[in-house]
């Protein structure tokens, strides 16, 4: 039974990231989980545990993406981009904007909203659309550890171990800043290549299913958007202390924007991602007790921190970061101090390989729809150049924060 449950996790992770004509990747793990439950290869208690661990995180995911889409329709993100579009520090500005959107709204929203926007900016400025289009994908990993809401993995761990926004900032704020800064310095060098197309000021058409910012940008859009962002930040920090889950804060903002704009972006609700998370969650929960996770988390001191971060990062690229995080949850109940190394590995590791996270797979599909298909090899060439030094900087900073915290 143990071997079968581990094999199911591996199979579920493979079908989630490898295209299969007869079944979309998001449905594969769910189908495997249902079959395993019906055949009693996986007990129902594992499904209940997975549901408990995932409910809050998945609810936030379902709400955060359409919320960000409505904010985009108001012209907020376009207005922000216009402030830096064409400036001397274009790449730096876009890099920072992607980091902020990832931190506040989550990595999937950043990929959905900013990828088409950055491609259009690149075309207007005569830059390589692929180069600037890489920014949201890279920041989806590098900047997604700052707040619980920044990544689905963060929310799952926060709900399981009762971690607040203050703890995330204290433990992962500096390592994230190090990875964002070092990654940005390396990426700036990559982006200094020759212009690939003549600049144009016309607004390029985007696919029908990609939000574009329907309202012309301006100061009103910036002010209205800033109010929403402030509400979210206060809700994710102060509201959390008052017992308000992150998804309720996002839901309140979503309702206000939907009423104001008289539209609900049903097509942008990431149902597929939620189904995928649920399927992988059941498979990973069942396989977790049969993996040597406790032995890894039991390694003492700084070597243990680095080993945990490294192994989880490798696991994230091998089987996707969501199951890589989920299989560690039972062990983290007894070794909760290792959660920060686990999250850094699960969040930053997918920088290196396109199948490492759901967000990069979503980004790859978005770039394909925009007419700029990116192969796994092309992604890895750029991602490794940026991700390896960024991971090194984050690991070194994490060690420093851990050592100082024990003094």
Domain spans of the chain?
2-406
pLDDT tens digits, one per residue of 246-271: 889 989 999 999 998 888 888 878 88
Summarize the confidence of residues 143-170 as an average pLDDT.
Answer: 92
Helices of type H across 39-106: 44-73, 76-84, 90-105
Residues 297 and 292: their CA atoms lie apart, in Å, by 9
pLDDT-above-90 percentage for the chain: 42
- Of 42-46, 53-57, 198-202, minimum mean pLDDT range: 198-202
Q: What is the mean pLDDT of the chain?
A: 86
Residues 148 and 158: their CA atoms lie apart, in Å, by 7
- Of 10-24, 273-287, 292-306, 372-386, minimum mean pLDDT range: 10-24
pTM: 0.83
Report residue 344's pLDDT band, with 50, 70 and 90 as the boundaries. Answer: very high
Report residue 127's pLDDT band, with 50, 70 and 90 as the boundaries. Answer: confident
Summarize the confidence of residues 42-56 as an average pLDDT.
Answer: 88
pLDDT at 383: 93
pLDDT at 237: 79
DSSP SS3 for 153: helix
- Of 177-186, 201-210, 278-287, 327-336, minimum mean pLDDT range: 201-210
Please tell me the number of Cα atoms within 13 Å of 337 on its side-chain side: 13
Task: Determine how many CB atoms are found less than 10 A away from the CB of residue 200.
Answer: 12
* Of 85, 68, 387, 86, nearest in space to 257 by CA: 68
Whether the CB-CB separation of 347 and 395 falls below 8 Å is answered with no
Helices (H) and strands (E) in the chain, counts: 20, 0
Task: Determine how many CB atoms are found less than 10 A away from the CB of residue 245.
Answer: 18
- Of 64-68, 183-187, 237-241, minimum mean pLDDT range: 237-241
| Res. 131: pLDDT tops 90 | yes
C-alpha 253 chain-centroid distance: 21
pLDDT tens digits, one per residue of 190-223: 988 655 444 444 344 343 444 444 445 556 888 8
Task: Determine how many CB atoms are found less than 10 A away from the CB of residue 2.
Answer: 11
- Of 46-50, 105-109, 197-201, 247-251, minimum mean pLDDT range: 197-201
Summarize the confidence of residues 159-174 as an average pLDDT.
Answer: 93
pLDDT at 310: 95
């Amino acid at each position: 039974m143990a071997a079968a449950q581990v094999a199911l996790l591996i199979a579920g992770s493979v079908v989630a990231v490898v295209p299969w004509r007869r079944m979309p990747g998001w449905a594969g793990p769910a189908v495997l989980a249902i079959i395993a439950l019906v055949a009693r290869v996986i007990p129902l208690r594992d499904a209940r545990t997975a549901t408990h661990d995932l409910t809050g995180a998945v609810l936030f995911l379902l709400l955060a993406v359409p919320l960000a889409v409505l904010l985009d329709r108001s012209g907020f993100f376009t207005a922000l981009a216009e402030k830096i579009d064409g400036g001397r520090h274009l790449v730096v500005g876009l890099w920072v904007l992607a980091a902020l959107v990832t931190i506040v709204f989550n990595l999937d929203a950043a990929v959905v909203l900013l990828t088409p926007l950055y491609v259009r900016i690149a075309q207007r400025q005569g830059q390589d659309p692929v180069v600037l289009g890489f920014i949201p994908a890279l920041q989806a990993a590098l900047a997604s550890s700052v707040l619980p809401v920044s990544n689905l993995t963060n929310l799952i761990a926060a709900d399981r171990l009762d971690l607040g926004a203050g703890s995330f900032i204290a433990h992962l704020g500096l390592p994230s800043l190090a990875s964002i800064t070092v990654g940005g310095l390396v990426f700036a060098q990559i982006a200094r290549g020759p212009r690939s197309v003549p600049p144009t000021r016309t607004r390029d058409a985007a696919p029908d299913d990609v939000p574009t910012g329907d309202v012309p940008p301006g100061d009103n859009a910036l002010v209205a958007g800033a109010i929403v962002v402030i509400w979210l930040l206060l809700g994710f920090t102060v509201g959390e202390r008052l017992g308000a889950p992150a998804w309720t804060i996002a839901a309140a903002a979503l309702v206000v924007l939907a009423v104001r704009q008289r539209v609900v972006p049903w097509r942008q609700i990431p149902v597929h991602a939620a189904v995928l998370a649920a399927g992988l969650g059941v498979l990973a929960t069942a396989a977790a007790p049969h993996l040597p996770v406790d032995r890894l988390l039991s390694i003492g001191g700084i070597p243990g921190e680095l080993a945990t971060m490294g192994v989880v990062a490798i696991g994230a690229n091998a089987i996707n970061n969501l199951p890589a995080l989920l299989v560690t949850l039972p062990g983290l109940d007894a070794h909760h101090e290792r959660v920060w190394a686990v999250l850094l590995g699960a969040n930053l590791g997918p920088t290196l390989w396109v199948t490492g996270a759901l967000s990069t797979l979503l980004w790859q599909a978005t770039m394909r729809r925009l007419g700029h298909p990116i192969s796994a090899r092309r992604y890895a060439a750029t991602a490794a150049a940026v991700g390896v030094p960024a991971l090194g900087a984050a690991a070194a900073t994490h060690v420093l924060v851990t050592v100082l915290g024990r003094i």
